[in-house]
Chain A
Amino acid sequence: MPRTPMTDGPLGVLAELTHACPLACAYCSNPLELTKRSDELSTDDWRRVLDQAAELGVLQCHLSGGEPLLRRDVVDIVAHASGLGMYTNLVTSAIGLSRPRAEALREAGLDHVQVSIQADEAVLSDRLAGISSFDKKIEAARLVKELDWPLTLNVVLHRQNIDRIEAILGWVEELGADRVELANTQYYGWALRNRAGLLPSREQLEHAEVVTRAARDRLRGRTEVIYVIPDYYSQYPKPCMGGWGSRQLVVGPEGDAWPCLAAHELPLPRANVNEHDLAWIWRSSPLFSAFRGTDWMPDPCASCERREVDLGGCRCQAFQLTGDMHRTDPVCVLSPDRHLVDEAVAAANSGPDSGAPASPGPAREPVLVPVPALVSRPHRAD
């Protein structure tokens, strides 16, 4: 039986305040075409969007980017969301989290801070981030704790840092983080273009899982350890954002609203908060209705008993790998396109550096596509 389309309001909004970022990660979730700073929503636009979101039932507000701290009005935006009773969460690289800024955010009611770290030490971390940033991150994480905020550390795992997971977890312990999210890279956008340098081998993953299990036991009661496996090594895809247009919504710097972080690459009509009310966008826009529920599904999903569980997987992944956003997520073993994933996995497990987790060092560092050079182009328009 087809699932009734979900028309309840969203629980959370991810506000991507800006695409600008001092960092240039090879797995960046930014779109390839960045929004110019001059095209960003104003403070009042964000206040209006948050008002409409609250009316729709939004309870959590994640402030992200790019680097949200590059917005001078981030304190005002936090204060507004907080005044609406939302749980406010800042997702930051921590560059720009000075003490006065942090204190102002605390004052404005910010509830939670998520700091991304790239590695366990400065050389690798700074190379991955594209600029010298490791020491500032550690300093900022300490500041978050000192101001008595709950601290989550976000670590995007990939081929070049996954062998350092033990030392990364050492930092988690030393900094006294309340949560750590060890999430393997999702391959769309920049990360898909850099996939060959990012996708870990099977041995690397097995090692990481053993280390993570041990850390989870050791840190029980102190730190919640969340580990997200890479879906390329799974049999079935993950349900995207808990279902398309079901629980979350993303608003980009220019005011485009999306059901998911990576959906801007899909050939779907846009829905912008400067042209429409958020309630219309959520309930009635063709964009948010496109993949809601299960009616849109082709086979094998349409007749599959897991269709309510994973909802056919990620639309962005289907589109980016096959060129057709309606197809079953190629990660699924039942997908006729699974070979596309298997080939990438095979490549990640062959070649000189596919052995057991060796000690990190120049020998096992694949060459990264020079992302800083690629992202520098859109910055020009500032």
Chain B
Amino acid sequence: MNATVPRTGRPHVARFAKLRYDGARERHVLLGPETVVVLNPTGADILELCDGHHSVADIVDELGRRYDRVVDDEVTQFLARLAARRWVEIPDATNPDD
């Protein structure tokens, strides 16, 4: 699982997707051309940090602070799931090409 989510990678929301708060549903949503992903609060927090600057390790630290518990697996699994569906891209910072 972690193979697809390198801790040094700096994830960002895919080019085609749009993250926003939906007042009607009182939830954050991730929008694509054919799909809408309604996010839970943790998911929304993670994605808001997927800005291409924070690394996966940073996100884990930041969420751990906010929720005051270990969120390592939660974060990596969530990102792996979204990366598999191409909602999130995680270029590995150790790779100079990215």
Residues of A within 8 A of B (CB): 9, 11-12, 55-57, 59-60, 85, 87, 89, 111-112, 114, 148, 150, 152, 178-179, 224
Q: Which residues of B contact A179 (CB under 8 A)?
A: 33
Contact B36 A60 (CB under 8 A): yes
**A91 and chain B: residue at smallest CB distance:** B33
Chain A to chain B: the 6 pairs with minimum beta-carbon distance, closest first: A150-B16, A57-B24, A87-B31, A112-B33, A89-B33, A11-B36
Indicate if B29 sits at the interface (CB-CB under 8 A). yes
Residue contacts A-B, CB under 8 angstroms, 11 given: A57-B22, A59-B29, A85-B20, A87-B18, A87-B31, A87-B32, A89-B33, A111-B33, A112-B33, A152-B33, A179-B33
Indicate if B15 sits at the interface (CB-CB under 8 A). yes
**A8 and chain B: residue at smallest CB distance:** B25
Interface of A is mostly: mixed
Contact B20 A178 (CB under 8 A): no
**A178 and chain B: residue at smallest CB distance:** B16
Residues of B within 8 A of A (CB): 15-16, 18, 20, 22, 24-25, 29, 31-33, 36, 86
Known: A9-B24, A57-B22, A85-B20. A150 touches B86 (CB 8 A): no
- In the complex the two chains form, what is the Cα distance from A56 to B25 in whole Å? 10
Contact A59 B33 (CB under 8 A): no
Q: Which residues of B contact A55 (CB under 8 A)?
A: 24
**A62 and chain B: residue at smallest CB distance:** B33
Q: Which residues of B contact A60 (CB under 8 A)?
A: 31, 33, 36
- In the complex the two chains form, what is the Cα distance from A85 to B33 in whole Å? 14
A237 to chain B, nearest CB (A): 20
Q: Which of these, B16, B22, B86, contacts A59 with CB under 8 Å? A: B22
Interface centre among B15, B18, B22, B32 (most CB of A within 10 A): B18
- In the complex the two chains form, what is the Cα distance from A111 to B16 in whole Å? 7
Contact A150 B33 (CB under 8 A): yes
Interface centre among B20, B31, B86 (most CB of A within 10 A): B31
Q: Which residues of A contact B24 (CB under 8 A)?
A: 9, 55-57
Q: Which residues of A contact B86 (CB under 8 A)?
A: 224
Contact B20 A112 (CB under 8 A): no
- In the complex the two chains form, what is the Cα distance from A186 to B86 in whole Å? 28
